[in-house]
Amino acid sequence: MKYLSEKKKTFQEINKENRIKWDKLKFDTQLIRAGEDPYPETSHSLRIPIYATKSYTYSTSSELYKNHYYYSRTENPTLYALDNKLATLHRGESAISVASGMGAVHLACSSVLQRRVERIRPNKITKLLPQSNPENIPNIIIHINQYTGVYRLLTKIYPQMGIEFKRVNLCDLPEVKKAIDDNTKFIFFESPSNPTIDIIDIQKCADLIHEVNGKCIVDNTFASPALQQPLEFGADLVIESLTKYTNGHGDALGGAIIGPKNEILNIRYYWQETQGQVLSPFNAWLILRGIRTLNLRMARHSSNAMTLAEFLEDNPKVTKVLYPGLKSHPAHELAKKQMKNFSGMIGFELESVEASNRFIDLLKLIKVGVSLGDTTSLIEYTSIMTGIDLASWERKAMNISNTHFRFSVGLEDPEDLISDLDQALKQI
């Protein structure tokens, strides 16, 4: 009988009881176990199954009242396991995984900008707020440099919906203070930033935006929860493109938002439910598989990148190297304070466009391609790859030179990576 009554507990009830224990575990143990253990519906399976279902069915009204699962656009046990793991890793109250990193950025920003509908409880919009004063045009503050997809969303699409933006060098805190006003709804940045590897002071930016009750949204993709936990520094919402380091194997797209329970509920039941940006259970399962080795991978990504950054810095053909682990990085000290290690992303520049084109042609082992954060090293020539949609003045304003390379250092042996770079640089 005891066994039967235990079995009747919902997944969420059991998770709730166990969250307390997960929070007390060390990070490596959380990576392996949080969110996944125990899992009552799995009939003792060690691994979470892929719940490939759209609906959940019930035979009694009391079951219906008790359960949260209705439809996989908002609820799926495989995704919940990932959500709970991510919340634990970031020491957040709650998390939601979505279809991609871009999806996560859009849902998080939409929820923070939402004005007319009061925060809702699951499945229920409680009441409409009065229209805000049309004179008070909301604005957002973004860093001068970020992933081009996010730049497009926040500077080209949101303005069409009446949201103004201000591009500010967030490394310059007096400038940030000057830019914030009473209508600033949030400050958004990546740290480290894509592709120029800027490091931004999360605590100071959060403190400044909180003075006007705005929110601080941090895209943590380049660091991953293994190296940086922005909520600990006062950020309100954290974005992860799970596609990158968190999954780490280059075989699935995904995104996540981590933050306070009410905001995440609003995102799940108001924004995700209507926008339909759902992570497939198969991708959630792949990401759950990848995430278990995150800490080991990030240590090796970081040590490989340090070795390669030092090699590049000493090479006369390389005119600039940006890596937060190098003493020459302008925010090396801040990176040491905010991050547990420096991750695997390097920015560097060559002497000319001609040399840059030759360099691409000469690489043999290192793959040329967009994206980042997986086992395989990837280099992108930014101005003709992710930066191709930007006008030249926009690239300039973002500090992306015509000879900028973004290097995602993989887990190959660093000696092999160095000899590939070396042979290419010698011939340009």
188 sits near ligand PLP (criterion: CB under 6 A): no
Measure the CA–CA gap between 29 and 236, rounded to whole angstroms: 25
101 near ligand PLP (CB under 6 A): yes
Shortest separation between residue 259's beta carbon and ligand PLP, angstroms: 16
Contact status: 379 vs ligand PLP (CB under 6 A): no
Does 374 participate in binding ligand PLP (rule CB under 6 A)?
A: no
Q: Which residue is nearest to ligand PLP (CB)?
A: 101
Binding of residue 100 to ligand PLP (CB under 6 A): yes
Return the residues of window 301-320 that contact ligand PLP according to CB under 6 A.
Answer: none
As given in the structure block, the two tokens for residue 162 are 């009446």
Single out the segment in contact with ligand PLP by CB under 6 A; choices: 217-225, 282-290, 309-317, 417-425: 217-225
User: Kind of pairing, strands 318-322 and 345-350?
Assistant: antiparallel
Nearer to ligand PLP, 11 or 83 (CB): 83
149: contact with ligand PLP by CB under 6 A? yes
Q: With contacts defined by CB under 6 A, name the span among 10-18, 108-116, 144-152, 168-176 that binds ligand PLP.
A: 144-152
238 or 253: CB nearest ligand PLP: 253
Candidates 15, 78, 94, 194; binder of ligand PLP (CB under 6 A) is 194
> Cβ contacts of residue 256 below 8 Å, gap of 6+?
82, 83, 86, 95, 96, 97, 98, 104, 239, 240, 242, 246
49 belongs to the binding site for ligand PLP (CB under 6 A): no
Q: Which string of x and - marks every residue 221-260 that binds ligand PLP (by CB under 6 A)?
A: xx------------------x-x---------x-x-----
CA distance 285 to 274: 24
Question: Minimum CB separation from ligand PLP for residue 278, in Å?
Answer: 14
Query: Which of the ranges 25-33, 37-45, 146-154, 323-331 carries the binding residues for ligand PLP, by CB under 6 A?
Result: 146-154
> Do residues 309 and 346 touch, judged by C-beta distance below 8 A?
yes
Question: By CB under 6 A, how many residues form the interface with ligand PLP?
Answer: 16
- For residues 224 and 298, is the Cβ–Cβ distance under 8 A? yes
The C-alpha atoms of residue 261 and residue 245 are separated, in whole angstroms, by 25
Interface segment toward ligand PLP; rule CB under 6 A; list 81-89, 199-207, 214-222, 401-409: 214-222
- Note whether 119 and 266 are within 8 A (CB): yes
Site residues, ligand PLP (CB under 6 A): 100-102, 147, 149-150, 190, 194, 219, 221-222, 241, 243, 253, 255, 371
